[in-house]
């Protein structure tokens, strides 16, 4: 599937990123900040291109895809903990939380804690209702038992594909997809809750939680909430080792979920 921007959904992904062990070694060696600056400069200077996830058959070893589609492809950001805290504080002052949803997480079959998110029901009522309904347990399908199928440390956690569990499925309560409701919410810092998509107006059930500020996703993905509590669990998911396509080696499962 071609991705116009952001997180693609049919393949629903996040932003393109350099791939492979060598890139990971450079990141671990402390060169992330320089790479991030160069990457963001490329994003600003050129449009998103269609194609498969990084590591495809493009000449430089990875293809560009929208920011957060189903097989979420992304880039890690080099940010200080202080910067993250400042941006998280900004999020706290943003849209009013009208409803809370919990997700109890298992990692590798072991309880890893509860994440509570707040939804922006006044800012994006349709998007918030979609997420709340799928988490409520009042529908035949929903988030309970689904997985976080893609984890990019320093960037995002992606889940919500209750249909196939690999980032190629899932659908909304309004039909297969629904339109972008508003881009008023911004990806200001760690803990932003936003919709994955396959381009404009292709929101389904897949979502992502940011692990750092991701401003290049603004205007491409609909922000509809934020993490209120369960940061230890968020960090535990982010630190879980991953394999091909950034899939956690130990399954990260939404064991239970519901409304508070």
158 annotated active-site: yes
- Report the distance separating Cα 174 and Cα 144, nearest Å: 19
Identified catalytic residue from 217, 224, 228, 247: 217
Q: Which residues contact 65 (CB under 8 A, 6 or more apart)?
A: 3, 8, 11, 13, 15, 16, 48, 49, 50, 51, 52, 53, 54, 73
Query: Is 217 marked active-site?
Result: yes
Is 11 tagged catalytic? no
Q: Which of 149, 187, 221, 247 is catalytic?
A: 221
Residue 27 falls in the annotated catalytic set: no
Question: What is the C-alpha to C-alpha distance for residues 60 and 179, in angstroms, rounded to an integer?
Answer: 34
Determine which one of 52, 130, 197, 206 is catalytic: 197
Q: Which two tokens stand for residue 173?
A: 């309560």
Residue 194: which of 176, 175, 213, 174 has the closest Cα?
Answer: 213
| Active-site pick, 158, 203, 206, 240 | 158
Residue 13 near residue 70 (C-beta atoms within 8 A): yes
Please give the structure tokens belonging to residue 219: 């205007």
Q: Is 155 a catalytic residue?
A: yes
Annotation marks residue 187 as catalytic: no
Note if 9 is an active site residue.
Answer: no
Of the residues 9, 131, 155, 207, which is catalytic?
Answer: 155
Residue 172 carries which DSSP code? B
Angle at 171 between CA 165 and CA 172, to 5 degrees: 135
Catalytic residue among 150, 157, 211, 247: 150
Residues tagged active-site: 150, 155, 158, 197, 208, 217, 221
């Amino acid at each position: 599937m071609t991705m116009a921007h952001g997180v693609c959904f049919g393949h629903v992904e996040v932003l393109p990123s350099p791939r492979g062990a060598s890139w990971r070694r450079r990141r671990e060696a402390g060169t992330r900040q320089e790479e991030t600056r160069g990457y963001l400069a490329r994003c600003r200077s050129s449009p998103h291109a269609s194609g498969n996830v990084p590591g495809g058959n493009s000449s430089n070893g990875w293809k560009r895809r929208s920011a957060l589609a189903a097989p979420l492809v992304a880039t890690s950001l080099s940010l200080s903990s202080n910067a993250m805290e400042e941006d998280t504080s900004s999020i706290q002052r943003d849209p009013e939380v009208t409803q809370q949803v919990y997700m109890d997480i298992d990692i590798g079959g072991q309880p890893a804690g509860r994440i509570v998110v707040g939804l922006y029901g006044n800012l994006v009522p349709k998007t918030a209702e979609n997420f709340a309904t799928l988490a409520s347990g009042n529908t035949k399908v929903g988030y309970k038992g689904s997985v976080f199928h893609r984890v990019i440390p320093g960037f995002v956690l992606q889940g919500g594909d209750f249909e196939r569990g690999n980032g190629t499925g899932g659908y909304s309560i309004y039909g297969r997809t629904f339109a972008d409701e508003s881009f008023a919410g911004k990806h200001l810092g760690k803990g932003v809750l936003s919709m994955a998509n396959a381009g404009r107006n292709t929101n389904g059930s897949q979502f992502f939680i940011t692990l750092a500020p991701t401003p290049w996703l603004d205007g491409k993905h609909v922000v509809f909430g934020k993490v209120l509590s369960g940061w230890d669990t968020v960090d535990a998911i982010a630190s879980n080792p991953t394999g091909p396509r950034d899939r956690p080696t130990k399954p990260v499962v939404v064991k239970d979920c519901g409304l508070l």
